[in-house]
Amino acid sequence: RKAEEEARRGLPARTRDGHEVEIGANVNRPDQVAMALSQGAESVGLMRTEFLFLERADAPGEDEQFETYRAMLEALDGRPLIVRALDIGGDKQVPHLHLPHEENPFLGVRGARLLLRRPDLLDIQLRALYRAAKARATSGHALSIMFPMITALPEVQALRAACDRVRAELDAPPVPLGIMVEVPAAAIQADVLARHVDFFSIGTNDLTQYALAIDRQHPELAAEADSLHPAVLRLIRLTVEGAERHGRWVGVCGGIAGDPFGAALLAGLGVRELSMTPRDIPAVKDRLRASDLSALREAALRALDCETADAVRALEGTLEGGEA
Ligand code: PEP
Ligand code: MG
């Protein structure tokens, strides 16, 4: 029984009609990789590097970061790793960086905005990442870098330029560069941004917060901050359309990727990769394996037309294979 269950976790998330969705894990430390793989992860779709900066007195230097990224790649043994550049600000405060107080940190100097104002932080991280790519170059490095909280094209261009410069300095191999789509402006302009990046990963936690104007940590409004709200789904659809126009792929690494029904709708919307908390992986894989892509596409179209989040949620009962 247990052996059967373990074997099932290792199967790909392939629908009954043969469409495969890549299943990644959100993992921040090398020592968590083995556990994620045992749950059936095929990659790490989101490594939140701000965790390297928390619960300590100072920022990790270039060598320490390099060792961590190299250890991640080693633990993954050739499987893809997407490292997200520092996403500090908003709900992620780091006291030892001594950043100025902001009245509205969620609308302030956060993510890419901070990286572009602090080239010291950005350079150290990029150097560590390109060194890790170089160290693993002979075995195929499988590393991608993505940038958080992108709002507009000039940010992407400036970050790309920083990557190109560091890569040249280190004579390192190219690394695919992606962005998080978590600001509505980025979703709406996805067709523009897609020309300039290799992939998108939608951060549905923040995209929901910014689309619905609900603080993602607000205790009273938690129930209304639903990532399956039709307005959020329409932003996801726009992102996929924009990416497809330029041959780019789209993943989702926000919490809704780990919800079996959410994962089913995202696959139906054209999302190719889902990255989630490791413990959510088995149920998501089971859900997708019990589905036909054609049915998921139909459900996604109906969800886009729903008037309310509740109406989207009610579609769950209409999907076949739901109790598999
Ligand atoms: C998100 O916003 O959905 C996301 C994955 O990033 P974080 O939760 O780290 O802000
Ligand atoms: Mg986010």
10-24, 125-139, 263-277, 303-317: least confident range: 125-139
Residue among 84, 87, 179 to mutate when testing ligand 1 (max atoms within 8 A of CB): 87
Residue 322 pLDDT > 60: no
4-8, 280-284, 305-309: least confident range: 4-8
Please, is 74 exposed, middle or buried when counting C-beta atoms within 10 Å of its C-beta (0-12, 13-18, 19+)?
middle
CA-nearest residue, atom 1 of ligand 1: 203
| Secondary structure class of 104 (helix, strand, coil) | coil
In the chain, the percentage of residues whose pLDDT exceeds 90 is 90
Token reading at 124 = 């150290």
Q: What average pLDDT does the structure give for the chain?
A: 95
Q: How far is the CA of 148 from the centre of ligand 1 (A)?
A: 8
Atom of ligand 1 nearest to the CA of 26: 5
Query: In whole angstroms, how far apart are CA 318 and each of 189, 198, 202, 282, 300?
Result: 33, 35, 26, 22, 12
Element of type H or E holding 45 = strand 43-48
Please, is 188 exposed, middle or buried when counting C-beta atoms within 10 Å of its C-beta (0-12, 13-18, 19+)?
middle
Q: Which residue has the tokens 């088995």?
A: 282
Q: How far is the CA of 244 from the centre of ligand 1 (A)?
A: 23
Residue 321 pLDDT > 70: no
**Residue 93, pLDDT score:** 84
Residue 92 pLDDT > 50: yes
Q: What is the mean pLDDT of residues 219-232?
A: 96
CA-nearest residue, atom 8 of ligand 1: 205
Atom of ligand 1 nearest to the CA of 206: 2
Atom of ligand 1 nearest to the CA of 46: 5
Token reading at 237 = 């659809």
Q: How far is the CA of 217 from the centre of ligand 2 (A)?
A: 12
19-23, 27-31, 50-54, 192-196: least confident range: 50-54
DSSP class of 92 = B
Q: Which residue has the tokens 């690394």?
A: 175
CA-nearest residue, atom 9 of ligand 1: 48
Which pLDDT band, with edges at 50, 70 and 90, does 324 fall under? very low
The C-alpha atoms of residue 268 and residue 271 are separated, in whole angstroms, by 7
Ligand nearest the Cα atom of residue 84 = 1
Q: Which amino acid is located at 25 in the chain?
A: A
- Interface ipTM above 0.85: yes
Pocket of ligand 1 from Cβ distances under 6 Å: 46, 48, 87, 182, 203-206, 253-254
324 vs 194, higher pLDDT: 194
User: Residue-wise over 308-318: b if at least 16 C-beta within 10 A, else e?
Assistant: ebeebbebbee
Q: What's the full length of the chain, in residues?
A: 324
Q: What is the DSSP string of 203-262?
A: -HHHHHHHHHT--TT-TTTGGG--TT-HHHHHHHHHHHHHHHHTT-EEEE-SGGGGSHHH
pLDDT tens string 166-203: 999 999 999 999 999 999 999 999 999 999 999 999 99
310 vs 6, higher pLDDT: 310
Q: What is the mean pLDDT of residues 235-254?
A: 98
CA angle 201, 92, 233 (to 5 degrees): 35
Q: Which residues surround ligand 2, an ion (CB under 5 A)?
A: 182, 203, 206
